Structure 1
């Protein structure tokens, strides 16, 4: 492989429960929506505005209001998660070895730059990732392949020469549509939730899995 493309939340850091709680608080306490934590979890893919539109319907909020809610949700998430912020076990070792071997790396995430910067700067990771593709950089978010295809283009590598690391079925579907293989880390979703996605090379619990070292 010539390139590794990483989703961020739930893939590089195990933070999806914190996102779930922040969103659930916004939806139920701030906006009065009756929705369970489990249903909130199922809606957590794509851009923040898309989540709000799936839950409330298009046109319910102005774009300005959705941007405001998005910023507030991310502030709550970061405040709660920062004391726990760390890479998933084995990932720093993988990043360093891949960097030494000349494997190109990028982040392709539905997160806004505010959250990507939160991780890269606090964990000192910027030198590994010359390319980041955020929610602000694409028209269509996952499961559309635009995020990963754009990351590959910016790295100047072909899609078939990339491996995508993901934790979400929608992200794996995006990789499939982009012509890329994927490795799934099971931080939030179980294997059966990925049925029908033939591009998965391996399911892993963390980056200490022996299969990971075989890649480099």
Structure 2
């Protein structure tokens, strides 16, 4: 794991401009704005772009932040979306990512690093910083993630890499608890 000084701040109306800077004009990928797991596919497609952006803005102005913005030397460079598993109905309905047990967890659903900062080993640092933040603020004692582990050294595609890469979670101290598909893992980390 690298030793960058990556810091995180919750997404609120105060950090909204920084979040937009990280996500770029496309809202991360294809107008998602990190709403993929929070909406049905029909709702997500109907809101693609400005609608999903407005929905995330509403969440950012709510009482519980939907994630954190990551900063390197004060510059916004990364994003991690999270919430209680119940915040992600699409994930709950998924045969692949449905809950493996009844443990109360905080689900990490999206990791996004600004293109200009990719390939610098920031994902593990982001995960560590997010877990530090959650250790201070979350009611749940366990963090759960759903990364991919591409086979044969292939790169993960944009559509499935949004949940992160397994090696970055291993480097941050997560352990595998299930593998619903050969390239898709469920991993956990204890906050306490």
Same fold (TM over 0.5): no
Q: Of the two structures, which has the highest relative contact order with CA contacts closer than 8 Å and spacing of 6 or more?
A: 1
The structure that has the greater radius of gyration is: 1
Higher strand share: 2
